[in-house]
Amino acid sequence: MAPRTPDSSEIAHIVDLLRPWAAVAARRMFGGIGLFRDGVMFGLILRETLHFKTDEVNRGDYEAAGMAPFSYARNGRPAVVTSYHAVPLDLLDDGDELLVWAGRAYDAALRGRKPAPRRRREAGEQS
């Protein structure tokens, strides 16, 4: 049975919880929903679970809370994506703490961004 994509009311609820922190856009992708702030993806809603972006700075918070990284089956084998972890369910009941974790996920997403490629100078262009 295929995982269920969250319905629009579930997505709206998550976006509403994050509203005091920032304007968040939700877009369908990867069979789920991507959460974006200022065009930067910091969260995913997949298989009825909210996941936030993690890196070496904030990953320990998720591990300490016993939260697993995002995983899926690839060619019949499990694949693990350590750059996204499930958000502890109790945060959905504690709006203030959820906003703190969202901010840390956004910071992780910003740290993970690759710099824009340098544009080559055209012939005759001065610096």
Residue 101 has pLDDT above 80, yes or no: yes
The tens digit of pLDDT for each residue in 68-90 reads 999 888 899 998 999 999 999 99
Q: What percentage of the chain exceeds 70 in pLDDT?
A: 86
Instruction: Give the span between the Cα atoms of 42 and 13, in whole angstroms.
Output: 17
The confidence score (pLDDT) of residue 90 equals 94
Residue 120 — very low, low, confident or very high, per pLDDT cuts 50/70/90?
low
The tens digit of pLDDT for each residue in 31-68 reads 889 999 999 999 999 888 999 999 999 999 999 999 99
Tell me which residue has tokens 């992708």: 29
Domain spans of the chain, in order of start:
8-111
| One-character DSSP codes across 31-43 | TEEEEEETTEEEE
Q: Which CATH number fits domain 8-111: 2.40.37.10, 3.30.1460.30, 3.40.50.1100, 3.30.1360.120?
A: 3.30.1460.30
**pLDDT, averaged across the chain:** 89
Tokens of 42: 């910091």
Top-confidence residue, 108 or 114? 108
Closest CA to 3 of 56, 33, 47: 47
The residues pairing with 67 across neighbouring beta strands, listed in sequence order, are: none
The confidence score (pLDDT) of residue 1 equals 43
